[in-house]
Structures are given as C-alpha cells and as structure tokens.
Homo-oligomer: A and B are copies of this chain.
C-alpha cells in the first residue's frame, strides 16, 4: 500500500492509501484512521459506505475520529466498488461504479472486477493488519454499506467480533435496489441471491453477537428499500439479539449517521476490547 495522504486528527492519523487489488483487478484507494499509540492491541472497525460514495465520505462527514481516538479504535473506510476505465459501469447511480453491493459478481460484464466480498473480507484485512494493527475486527456501514456489514458479518461469524448498521438495506431480495443489483451481478435466479440477504442469513442461524441497527423515521427509503422489519422478524426466528433504534425526525443523510456515531463506536469498542 502506498501512502498518499496523512493528516494528524484528534491526536491520531487520518491516512489514505492506494494499492493494486489482485481480487478486483484495479487500483483502489482506502482511508484508514489510526488512533494515538496504535499497535497490535488496536481493534479495527471496517466501515462500508453507501451508494455513490468513495472511501472519503465517511472520513469527511461522520465525525468519527474524535471518539475513535479516545476509544483506541482504528477505522478502515474502503471504496464502494472497483474503479478505473477498464471496469464495467452502468448509467444508474445504483449499479456499477460506486454500487458494488459487497458481493462477488458471477455475471458478465461484472464478474471480472466486481468482487467486493472477497476484497473486504480476504484481501484488505491482511494489508490493514500489516500496518501494525490487531486482528480483532468489527464491521459497520450505511445503507448499501449497512447491508454489506450485516451480510459479511453473518457470512463470516468468526472473522468479525462485532457488527452494527445505519439504515441498512436489510432484505435486498425484496427491494428495488437489491433486485436490480443482485439481478445484474448474480443473475436472474433469486435463489442465487439468498446468501447475500441479511434477513435470510439472520433467520437461518442465531447470530453470535448482539446486532445494533439505527434508522431514521424520516428516511425516504425506509419502507421501500430498507425493510428493517424483515430483519427483526428474522432475528426473532433465530433467537438473535437485534436492537433496532428508530430515531424520530432523522433522515438518510450523514447528518443522521454523525448523530449516532458515538453510540455505534462505543458498541463496537465494548465488544472488541
């Protein structure tokens, strides 16, 4: 990884790297916040961003560095898709670049680059931990990234020690964003989508950790796209510990995310320490 930016921030370091990704077949950027005195004792929270985002949205807008520095948490914010001229794209904001949906695509023209699942779970952690960080990992995210956090944690229950989500796309096989993206990336057969659906995964087996979700009740996407009630039904079915905090008056923006970032960081820090 090549360091391309570094800024002292709340006594820690907000870094940005670029690196060649063998999994994605392109060059990627990734942002990393390192708390003061980081080391092998430092847990790492992976933050997965939403549609249209890059690695920079969270870093600039979530206001997480203050408390991450205090709690001794590193935070990794990857990009949301493969990038570059060789990578397939779509005119829509909800497919292609900026919309990788954290799956391994199986369909042309996506399968050659769109392998964000393997990138986040397999390729990135060793690169991050080689910076001198520990191997206790949490994962969180927003909207498409909330879906990613829930799904990657539920698919890799030993790999992550904590999981939470803001405004997650909770049941993508049953919402327009999910149907469009999964249809393109995974093919026409909905049976092939199920292993990337948080509600289906959570219904199937009890989660090994408590799951925290926050949604805003003024979120325009709440009913049609997010479907958190499906996640709650799934948790009830498997006996999993899920708490959905419905925040009155809040919308889908980073102003909402920033407002409850402290609660999520404390939630992760408590489980990862």
Contacts and interface: CB of A to CB of B under 8 A. Distances in A.
Interface residues of A, number: 22
Interface in A221-273: 249-251, 253-256, 258-259
Is chain A's interface secondary structure helix, strand, loop, or mixed overall? mixed
Interface string A61-93: 101011000000000000000000000000000
Interface stretch (A6-14, A96-104, A140-148, A203-211): A6-14
Contact of A60 (B60, B218, B256): B60
A215 to B, nearest CB: 13
Which of A11, A249, A259 has the most C-beta atoms of chain B within 10 angstroms of its own C-beta?
A259
A255 B9 contact: yes
A251 B61 contact: no
Contacts of A250: 7-8
A10 B65 contact: no
Nearest to A59: B255
A8 to B, nearest CB: 4
Given A7-B253, A7-B255, 10 more contacts: A8-B216, A8-B249, A9-B256, A9-B259, A11-B259, A60-B60, A61-B61, A65-B258, A65-B259, A66-B259
Interface of A: 7-11, 14, 60-61, 63, 65-66, 216, 218, 249-251, 253-256, 258-259
